[in-house]
Homo-oligomer: A and B are copies of this chain.
Amino acid sequence: VRYPAEHKEEVRERIVDAASRRFRRAGAGVGIGQLMKALKLTHGGFYRHFKSKDDLFAAALTKAFEDSRERITQMAAEAEKGRELEALISFYLSDYHCAEVAGGCPVAALAPEIARYRHSRAVRSAMDRCVREQAAFMSRYMKGRTEEERQQRALALLSGMAGSLALARAVSDEGLRQSILSGAREYFQNNF
């Protein structure tokens, strides 16, 4: 079967998109077979696009951070002037984001697994790059005299909220989950 010129690039993108969502939803243990099957492809073809699962994981991680920045940009544009950070915190700790693991923040969904995935050079360098880019991007919404200070505060906010979101997702009682989310909202809103 001969495919159109852009076909390969399109399929690669579809694999990265699906992987990015599935890894967040179900963890780094998601299999290549499952993933390809969901795209109506067979596992063998995977290696025409990626040299290993690590390679895909790194690409999926990068995609998740890119999507996160895109959503923040959009949300900030829709927010009242001067209240962008408030809107960002509200969204991040919302019921919606709590339930939407697959499309949500990669730090909240995958941080500990990424720490264990550091055996792969591709994942190591992708993660460091993603975190630096995220800090540089988010710094525009932060208070602070120097750019360095703003970036550091951006990472404290991002990682702090990610921990609260991860704990809210880890409990099963709905009341407890709401208490965690609202406690974190109050705390981060009042202190950033």
> Contact residues of A with B, CB < 8 Å?
26-27, 29, 101, 107-116, 118, 124-125, 127-128, 131-132, 152-153, 155-173, 176, 179-180, 182-184, 186-188, 191
Contact B159 A111, beta carbon cutoff 8 Å: no
- Chain B residues lying within 8 Å of A132, measured Cβ to Cβ, are 176
Among residues of B, the one whose C-beta sits closest to the C-beta of A168 is B159
This chain's copy number in the assembly: 2
Contact A171 B107, beta carbon cutoff 8 Å: no
Contact B152 A107, beta carbon cutoff 8 Å: no
Asked if A163 meets B128 with Cβ closer than 8 Å, knowing A116-B27, A152-B183, A155-B179, the reply is no
A158 vs chain B, min Cβ distance (A): 8
- Chain B residues lying within 8 Å of A116, measured Cβ to Cβ, are 26-27
